[in-house]
Chains A and B, each alone.
Chain A
């Protein structure tokens, strides 16, 4: 670089960790200095590339369940399910039959839970595919507007239900638009939201058993997702932003839905 500017400045600018006053000063300098502009673009590019490459490891659902279980166990101070069954111990055969019945219920319950879990994982994978296809498209949305009062009415007459959208002003999120999508033979809404160059999809469908995806916060192939049901609708937020960012957007949508 031929310019003598402090490169810590450029890093702080790229990392969005400078004050508004500093930011303005840097932008003024960048407009006048080609060397610093090129250097800043290079740093932004590297930062983005590192972010993509470093999102490498995802925990298995089994591991997450194990940790959640150990947290629950810790919370109940070591009281296991068997402690609840204990009162039957003094009643001989009745205790054995009860234990057998409990075991049977647990086995049947586990099979049903597992089947349901697999279905929900498949649903999530399909929504991820829809999101990736949308972001890769040259025309990602059918209605292009940052105004929720334009996007929401666009779905009138196209969907047999209505939903509320939050006010994105004063939040880091920006509404891009929306489009009609079909998932498992059912029409639904897909909204595209931007957060610092990350594109996030919000899917809204009627809450039926086949439409459900893994609830709560999940991470899959570098993408984060969060899903919940409310007012007969199933909301799923998917994107390559962090789980905390996805959760923040989900909270905004939940607040709007109330």
Chain B
């Protein structure tokens, strides 16, 4: 059963969140984001550390772009995210999405 689950989980949608790259930042800026490199890096770190305290990490493609800010906001208290950190997490998720 586990082998089957392993194979199913290793699909692209469940790949680990990618590191921040200059291409990702450029794509993000093209979408009128005001994110910078440091902000996206912090967003990734927070995304992979804080969210898994309660649940596994959802693929960034699971929800629509306009849904993510509300989703992160609704869980920010539980995950001890300050407003700037919340913004960084959303910026990172949207930056990853903007590459496609």
Q: Do the two chains bind?
A: no
